[in-house]
Chain A
């Protein structure tokens, strides 16, 4: 479970790094507003866009794979409900 979470976090980090690369030229100001894109800006936006798309697809695939596994091997309702009993009770009492 831990390694799966680490992997999922890594994919999310890739997605975040892509977004950062796209936004970095404009956020840090080395791309002047109203001017044409410099080489650095073009590189960052293209690489960041690819990484963001790949990271998004990766996150989507990981979640979809996990959901399909759950559908393939559904755990009994009791095992799913057992760990959440306390929270559910608290939520119910709270509401």
Chain B
């Protein structure tokens, strides 16, 4: 790769030496024989030296350029005067200061926005919280409770930041420590007291609007709404609690839970929460678990399901598809949706 540069430089060096010898032979040693020979040697030697100097410079420049293109030599920096260097330094400082200021401002705005709308993003999906508890109105009711929202609102799929099923205690997602009156008109069908929440002591600074969590009418919400229906134990949502930092004790949470779930339990009566499982008789073979083979369509998967449903006599009604209950498909869709992953 560098053969030609090296050979070019070597030839240039040799030519320089030859030209120098010719000049020296013609001048320093008193001339060879005078006449034409001296003049020829002198002229040829001088011209050869000039040509060889140019050739050497050209090959050196070409080689340097090549090495710079290959990354062997670094980029050349133009020399900068002191004044220019000082100016550059000032501009750099100014840019850094400006960037820091804008970053601070954006952080402050984000903090302010988060303070102003603490649960806005959650509330947009808060109506879906009811799906987690199957009844529809149950999750919604807990969403709007105000003093018990912590840890219960996360039970549904309404948490947009990936809190699927993970209730957070003490984080006040839907009302713990929220001191504003929660409007009773939250899109639920059940009878609700229209008064303000008993836990609210003073109006919330930025949350004067209705709770977005219950904005959608929920389909199964025919039962009595636990939010505000019963006496709410005070403590978790008191005026002294700091939003987002309240951490009610377990006793308080359990008391509130009891107060909220009591009416529901009374309404439900003795109805079992889960349908009875089919019991295997002695001597009866274990039913096969339907497995979908690769490349098998939905029709192929539906067959074993119907077989399974037909086998036991005391089995519950056949599931629509894959053993899913009503509404579960919607739940799965929501779980797969983008909002659920956020």
Known: A7-B62, A10-B51. A50 touches B33 (CB 8 A): no
B39 CB to nearest chain A CB (Å): 9
B36→A28 contact, CB < 8 A: yes
Contact check: which of A47, A55, A58 meets B22 at CB < 8 Å? A47
Q: Contacting chain B: which of A11-19, A75-83, A84-92?
A: A11-19
Interface size on B (CB < 8 Å)? 39
B38 CB to nearest chain A CB (Å): 8
A38→B4 contact, CB < 8 A: no
Q: How far is it, in angstroms, between the C-alpha of A11 and the C-alpha of B54 when the chains are bound?
A: 10
B40 in the interface, Cβ–Cβ < 8 Å?
yes
Of chain A, the residue at the smallest CB distance from B39 is A28
B253 in the interface, Cβ–Cβ < 8 Å?
no
Which residues of A are found within 8 Å of B10, using beta-carbon distances? 54, 58
Q: Please provide the chain A residues from 11 to 38 with a CB less than 8 Å away from any CB of chain B in the complex.
A: 11, 13-14, 17-18, 20-21, 24-25, 28-30, 38
Which residues of A are found within 8 Å of B33, using beta-carbon distances? 30, 38-40
What total count of A-B pairs have CB within 8 Å?
131
Which residues of A are found within 8 Å of B19, using beta-carbon distances? 17
B15→A14 contact, CB < 8 A: yes
B331 in the interface, Cβ–Cβ < 8 Å?
no
Interface SS of chain A:
helix
Known: A4-B58, A14-B14. A20 touches B3 (CB 8 A): no
A28→B7 contact, CB < 8 A: no
Q: Please provide the chain B residues from 1 to 36 with a CB less than 8 Å away from any CB of chain A in the complex.
A: 1-8, 10-12, 14-15, 18-19, 21-22, 25, 32-33, 35-36
- Most interface-central of A4, A38, A57, A62 (chain B CB within 10 A): A4
B7→A57 contact, CB < 8 A: yes
B25→A43 contact, CB < 8 A: yes
Q: How far is it, in angstroms, between the C-alpha of A50 and the C-alpha of B11 when the chains are bound?
A: 10
B12→A65 contact, CB < 8 A: no
Which residues of B are found within 8 Å of A47, using beta-carbon distances? 18, 21-22
Q: How far is it, in angstroms, between the C-alpha of A66 and the C-alpha of B44 when the chains are bound?
A: 29
B37→A7 contact, CB < 8 A: no
Known: A47-B22, A50-B14. A10 touches B7 (CB 8 A): no
B92 in the interface, Cβ–Cβ < 8 Å?
no
Which residues of A are found within 8 Å of B40, using beta-carbon distances? 24, 28, 44
Q: How far is it, in angstroms, between the C-alpha of A72 and the C-alpha of B4 when the chains are bound?
A: 14
B45 CB to nearest chain A CB (Å): 9
B37→A40 contact, CB < 8 A: yes
Q: 4 closest A-B pairs (Cβ-Cβ)? A: A10-B55, A65-B4, A58-B11, A61-B7
User: Can you spell out 9 A-B residue pairs with CB atoms less than 8 angstroms apart?
Assistant: A10-B8, A10-B58, A11-B55, A17-B15, A30-B35, A40-B33, A43-B32, A50-B14, A61-B8
Supplied contacts A21-B44, A38-B37, A64-B4, 13 more A-B pairs, CB within 8 Å:
A3-B58, A7-B8, A10-B55, A13-B51, A13-B55, A17-B15, A24-B44, A38-B32, A50-B18, A54-B14, A61-B6, A62-B8, A65-B4
